[in-house]
Every structure is written in C-alpha cells, then in structure tokens.
Chains A and B, each alone.
Chain A
Amino acid sequence: MKTDKNTKSVTDAQNQKTCFFSRWFTKILSSGFTASLFAIILGLLTGLIILLVANPGQAVSGFFMIMFGAWSEGLKSIGMTFYYATPIICTGLAVGFAFKTGLFNIGATGQFTMGAFAAVIVGTSCSFLGSAQWIVGLLAAVVAGALWALLPGLLKAFLNVHEVISSIMMNYIGMYLVNYTVSNVPILYNQLTNSSAQISDTAVIPKFGMDKIFAGSAVNAGFIIAVLVAILMHVILNKTTFGFELRAVGFNRNASKYAGINEKKSITLSMTIAGALAGLGGGLLFLGSLGKHIEVVDVLASEGFDGISVALLGLSTPLGILFAALFIAYIKQGGFYLQLYEFSKEIIDIIIAVIIYFSAFSLFVRGAIKRYLSYKKEKAEAAAGSMGVSGSTSNSIGAGKAGNGSTGNSIAGAGKAGNDESKGGSV
C-alpha cells in the first residue's frame, strides 16, 4: 500500500512536468495563431499545385519566388513590402477594430476612398500650407474617412439599421462621388490620364530616412505611422477604459447598458474610429509618393477588401493585423517577381484568396487540431493503462479543451443551433 502511494506521487510529479509542456504546447497549437498559420500553409500548398499545373518546369523556382522573392532585391524589395503593407494595415485595423467592438465594417473601401479623396484635394490645391501640407492632408483623410463611417454608425446605434447594408451603400456613394468630382473639377483632374492631378511636392509624406535604409523603394514615413497606429489601437482596445467599454458593447449591448455605458455613443464612436483608420490608409497611400493618382474608374478600391482579409487572418487583433498585412504584402511582392518565370502575378491573388478562405474556417481548423490532440492523448493513455501505469490522474488539458471546443460544433451538428442571446440581440 505504502509503496503504491510512493509510486503514485512520483508519476504525479512526472505528470505535472509533462502537463506543463503539454499545456503550453496545446495552448499554442489550439490558439487562433496556429489556425492562421495552417491557413497560410494550406494556401501556399494550393499555390504550388496551381504553379505545377500551369507550368511544371518552372513551378519549384516560381514557388521559391513567392516564398522568398520579397528578399530578391534585398532591402529595396523589403522596403516595397512595407510600402504595400501600409494602406492595408490601416484598412485591416478599420475592419478589425470595428469587429472587436461587435461591428462588421464592410465599408472600409468607401472610407478609404474618401480618405484618399480628401488627401488628394489638400495635396493638389493647398500648396500654400508649405511643409505642413502633408500633415493637413493626412488629417483631412482621417476626418473624411471618419465622416463616411459616422452615418452607418448613427444608423446602427439609433435605428438598428445593420451596418453591413448601410456601409455597402456608402461604398458606392463614395466611389461615384469621388469619380464625379475628380473628373468635373479642373484643378483636381488630369484629362490625359483620366485620373486625379499631381499633388504638390510638399504634400508628399517625408521619408524620415526610410529611403536611405531601403534605398530604391517607395517606402516612407507612412509605414511608421501605420505601425504606430496599430500599436495605439492595441493599447486603446486592451488597456483603456474606453476600449473596455467598446468591447463590452460589442459583446453584450444589454449588459453594457445595464452597466451605465452609453451604448449608442459607443457604437457610433467605434464606427467612426474605424472609418478614420481606413481614411488614414487612403491618405497614406495617396500622399505616399508623387506617382499615385485616383483613377476615374467605376471600381471599388481593393485596399478596403484587402482589409477584411487582413483582419480575418490577423484574428482582428491590432498586432495580428500588423503581421497579417506585412505577410500579405510580402507574398504580393514575391508574386510581383513571379512574372520573371512567365507566371501571371494574379496567381498570388488566388493564393491569398485560398489563405483567407482557410482562415475563415479557422474555427473548424482549430477544432480539428484539438480533436486530433485529444485522440492522440486517448491513445497514449490507453497504451499507458495497459502497461500498468494507472495511478496517473489524467492531466489532459488538451482533451479537456477539445471537448470544450467541439461543443459549438456538435450542437450545431445536431441542428440545435445554440444561439447566443446577447449577440443575437445586438446584430
């Protein structure tokens, strides 16, 4: 009896140890981060298959280009990656921030366009501002984006009009308004290229030495601004009372009201901030270099929709979004060089689409990982049991979580669609 107890405590201690590792391991594996990583790997594999089908001979080198092409011209291509990442960090934040507060901001495109528009107006017509012109331009972009989101925000808060509907409308209104105005106001318009006129030199965002480090690339201080804004959003959401309120309203509007939070104000503000972020993205892109113009075509700006992808991949957290945007810009940059191997660069868009597709299934992927882990655990335990090590109190956090995580799935599977009251009410 006594020896029995001793062995038991020994195995317990061992368990404790393995438990720590397995807990840590499981935590990483079952977090959203892994799900995103899996989505990325699956997306890249799909890309490889497409390359193989399109041109087997060049496929492997093409794939290497995608993976590492963004290094191919050294710091210059890294600089370009940063440059491309800048606007989609902002639109990603615009979508992610709204999402964290319970809103689906599909209007990032329109807000981005309005931001770009305001920036271009200041950039073309306010050269009297001198060296402050770019700052005023960016501020104008922020304000314009914010105003464009304000209306859907107000509609949602006070009339419970779903923000998806109203912000889709705002996207189109914004696009046509901008196209119409640009092509009808001489000072804004360049007839030859059918796009907006050149902004003044002082309207261009300064380089802040970025051009020295990343010589030959278009990167500028805008990237630094975007990174700082992402960090700022992280702090606001997670560390401040303001963020506490916004998220509370996102999770449960009724409880927030009960806690004395002005939920209408919160919803309006959160949408407005999201719009400001997207607007900033427009400003940063269009004041980023002399060569960028608003083209008068009836197409919604793709940066807004990229923002949705980025937010999804980055799990809507500001820092996740920062990295997701960098990643997407990185493989886009690689895709640019893909043309060297006679592949069309649209292949990258397909790969990105696949990645997004899989990360939309991240919950599913996560569930699958957990199930796999718990299955392995069970097998291991069964094996251990037959070997006579039975005293072990199973410390299988993994399995515990697995059951836990699959709850939602299985309920839905049985068709009982457990609906979350608080969320149902607020949507």
Chain B
Amino acid sequence: MDYIIEMLGITKEFPGIIANDDITLQVKKGEIHALLGENGAGKSTLMSVLFGLYQPEKGIIKVKGKEVAINGPTDANALGIGMVHQHFKLVHNFTVLQNIILGVEEVKHGVVKTEAARKKIVELSQKYKLFVEPDALISDITVGMQQRVEILKMLYRDNEILILDEPTAVLTPQEIDELMNIMRDLVKEGKSILFITHKLNEIKAVADRCSVLRRGKYIGTVDVEDADKEVMSEMMVGRKVNFTVAKEDAKPKETVLEVKNLIVESKREGHTKRLVNDVSFSVHKGEIVSIAGIDGNGQSELVQALTGLSSLSGGQIFINKEEVTKKNIRYKNTHGLSHIPEDRHKFGLVLDYTLEDNLVLQEYFEPEFQKHGILQREKITKHADELIEEYDIRSGQGSVTPARSMSGGNQQKAIIARELSRRPDLLIAVQPTRGLDVGAIEFIHKQLVKGRDEGCGVLLVSFELDEVMNVSDRILVMYEGEIVGELDPKVVEIKELGLYMAGSKRGGHHED
C-alpha cells in the first residue's frame, strides 16, 4: 500500500506526561484521514511533530516512502506539508495578503513584490471558493475568514499534505459545510488531508479513514464507512457515550436575569448600526435558555454588554432583581454572575499563569484565598486539585502546569470548572463545549443540567443546533441584533429553527 505519510513509533514527552507513546499513523495519498481522541490525547502534539515544531524522542517519519528529518516548519514546507493550528497563527496587524505571503514573499531590490502574489491568491480563492479580502486586516475579519486565510496560506505554498487541527471548532454550521466541500475539492485534486475534530458527524461526512488516540496511545484505525458513531466514540473514550442529555422538565422559579430594551451600537467610527437592537428577555432560576443564531447576529455583543466587558448604549439589566446596568464587572461577578467567555485565550485565561492561578482568577481576592492581601498558596493549590479531580482536567504537571502548555480542550475544561464551581445564580455560557471531546461534552451538559436543577439560571449561547435542541428548556433566536422568536425545543423542528435563524421567519412559537 502506498502511504504518503507514515509516522512510525512516535514518542514525544513533556514534563510530567508522555503526550505521544509509540504512535503509528499512516495516511494514504488522496484521502481525508481523521484523527480522533479525547482532550489531551496528543493529537495536536502528533501533528506538531509532523510539522516539525517538536522533535520526537523516538520514531521515524516517512514521506512518500522515504525517511525524512523534519526539523522545523521550513523543512515541513519543503516536503509539502502545511498546517492550520488549533489556535491560529496570524499576525493581527497585517493584511490577509501579507499574512499569506509571509515567509515566502518575493523580494526585488529589498522591496516586497505583491502583484504576482495577489494574482495567485485571487486565483486560488476563486478556484476553491475560499472567499477573502486580500487587503483587510486580520484583526477586522471574522474567525471563519481567518480560517480561510490559513488554508490559503497552505495552498499558496503548494502544500500537498494539509493538516487541519480542529478547524471546525470555531466555525458556524454553514461555514463547516463550506469547509467540508472545500476539503472534498482538495482531495479530488490529489491532496491529502489530516483532519482533527471532535465531531463524529463531520468525520462521518467527509473522512475516509479515522485513527483513534487515547491518553497518548494509538488505539486503531477504522474505515469510516464501516464504523458508526458509537463505535468510534467508544474507541476514543473507552466507554459508551450518551449523545442526548437525560433531563427532567424545567421548574422555573424567580427571575434571575432581566434585560430591558438593551441596545448596543457599533463602536467603529462612522457606524451607528445597532448590533443589538432593543432586546428584552428574562431568564429564571432553574431553567436553561438558549440564544440560537448564526454567528455575527449580535450574540457576542449582547453577552459582552450583559457581563460588562463592553459598554451598552441603552437599556437596563437586572440580576436577582437588582439593577446592575452601571455596576462594574467585579460587582457582577461577586453577585451571582458566572461567565464562560467565547474566546478562551483572549478572555478566559491568563496563559502565562499556572492552572491553579487560573482556577482562582475570579476568587483570589476572597477571604478563602487571601489573608491581609497575602495569597494563601496552600489553599489555592488544594482548590485546584479538587477541581482537577472533579472535572478531569488533564495536564502534564497538575496544578502548577502553565496554562499555555495545556491542550485546548483541557483549557476549556479549566474555565468551565472555575465558573461552575462558584455556584452562580446566573451562568452565561458562550460556546461552552467548543473544542471538547464527546465524553467531556456529555459531562459538561450534565453539569449544566445539574446546575439548573440546583436553582441556577443558565443563558447558553451556542451555534451548535444539536446542543441548543438538546440542553435548553427555551430557545430565543437572534437575527440581526433582534430576538425574532421564542421557541420550545420539545415542539420545534430543527428545520424550523433554521428558518428563524436565517431570518425568514419571525414570531414566537408559543404565541401560535
């Protein structure tokens, strides 16, 4: 059998953990090969080894049958290997074009030539329907477009072997469909793709074969056609996973969040567009309310206004019947609000702090963790150890692991642990299960329901329709900054929900 990539007996260690333990991975030319594994199983590490970012302690890599040494991304590039990282690596104050050509730019008399590059980029983007604006700054474009820039970067370098590390975690369902079409086109051209994802549906939809890792070890490879979701997830976590959440009907109690006529105006100069337009709703203790909608319809702005991360232009917010519109973030955080933010690296974590310091990020000032302004290290460590145990946060060195070195999913688990363990009255969770494996998602969903049953009100913002339908007791649909419908997940069909989200239907289901 002709393999384009063979990684044989790869072992890679980090302080306190064997991230890859004698792993073998063989990829055929022209296939989409999925890599599946729990959070921290070692997927990103294995791909970083292939891309030359890490040197394995043991094992060999063969490309097209020849053993190669990949000492860095430059070597990888020369072998036709390109990678889109789990957390993008783009220069934010550069334009799309500059990012794409960075490192392979054509220079004449010390001046960068861009005409040829621009032409090639435009051609590529038309050919693969990867729409980008070459002159837009990275900081101004959506995550979906950043994703396309990363892919164009690989295509621009004529890479044949494409590594996509959780490319769909940050995309909306529509964008995911587009991406999967692009992937199909690419393999038709003879390129080979290594595709990491936690979503079994996606593997079923595009992948040819799937290799499974568990806790740094290689479990096996299956043909996707012959394996159903249950088999794959059992291979991955070592037990059966429930995809639907078992829960009783909600018993809503008193109002915990009340939003009245909330308005957020665009802060960009010259814009007066209302990103959140006169939104009113409430959340009660003991219920989970979802905000469904396509990304970019004002959900982020709504949440940032509620939590205080950005200011609002009008309206009122009440938490536990107390007006908190003008209160600062610390006040809200200590008066019942917990928040799982959308962007874990930007808001959720201080990556250069240890895990234990991140776990007290919202509480370090409480008497429990400090005395006369002196941090109580022992208690902080103990607190961390408890949460690590309870939420199964995996890392190399336990509580003193630098957050930066943790796997993406485990970083997310740390945030969730921190926010849920504060026993909030109101939890605002944005994409809480982004980047989590199916086992962890099941666990988090259970925790959300448990929190609800113990009297917490949950406001869940999610782009995952499955999650919205599964977990919530009530669905609010947001479209162009407005709430266009209130639906009951037990009654509404996914299709109908889609119509609301696309803006082609309005009005409350319950009013019918």
Contacts and interface: CB of A to CB of B under 8 A. Distances in A.
Interface majority SS on B: helix, strand, loop or mixed? Answer: loop
A256 B333 CA distance: 13
B54 A257 contact: no
A28 interface: no
B92 A419 contact: yes
Contact of B55 (A260, A403, A422, A425): A403
B466 interface: no
Interface residues on A, range: 35 or more
Nearest to B17: A400
Contact of A374 (B55, B73, B332, B370): B55
A22 interface: no
Contact of A260 (B11, B71, B89, B330): B330
B92 A421 contact: yes
Contacts of B15: 397, 400-401
Contact of A256 (B11, B53, B350, B365): B350
Contacts of B405: 404
Nearest to B331: A260
A396 interface: yes
Nearest to A377: B57
Contacts of B91: 417, 419
A251 B351 contact: yes
B13 interface: yes
Interface in B62-104: 71-74, 77, 89-93, 102-104
A395 interface: yes
Interface in A404-427: 404, 406-407, 410-411, 413-419, 421-422, 424-425
Most buried by A among B53, B57, B352, B374: B57
A107 B39 CA distance: 46
B279 interface: no
A322 B257 CA distance: 52
A10 interface: no
B31 interface: no
Contact of B103 (A394, A401, A415): A415
B289 to A, nearest CB: 22
A368 B174 CA distance: 46
B357 interface: yes
Interface majority SS on A: helix, strand, loop or mixed? Answer: helix
Interface in B297-356: 307, 309, 328-334, 339, 341, 345-353
A241 B375 contact: yes
A239 to B, nearest CB: 6
Given A251-B350, A255-B349, A260 B329 contact: yes
Contacts of A414: 72-74, 77, 103
Interface string B22-54: 000000000000000000000000001000111
A213 interface: no
Nearest to A409: B72
Given A251-B353, A260-B362, A416 B347 contact: no
26 contacts: A239-B374, A241-B373, A241-B374, A244-B357, A251-B351, A251-B353, A252-B350, A252-B351, A254-B346, A255-B350, A257-B309, A257-B347, A259-B362, A260-B329, A260-B334, A396-B57, A403-B54, A404-B405, A410-B71, A410-B72, A413-B74, A414-B72, A414-B77, A419-B91, A424-B92, A425-B346
Given A251-B351, A397-B13, 6 more contacts: A257-B347, A260-B331, A260-B333, A403-B53, A416-B89, A421-B92
Question: What 8 A-B pairs come out closest when comparing CB atoms?
Answer: A415-B103, A260-B330, A414-B73, A410-B72, A403-B54, A258-B347, A260-B329, A418-B89
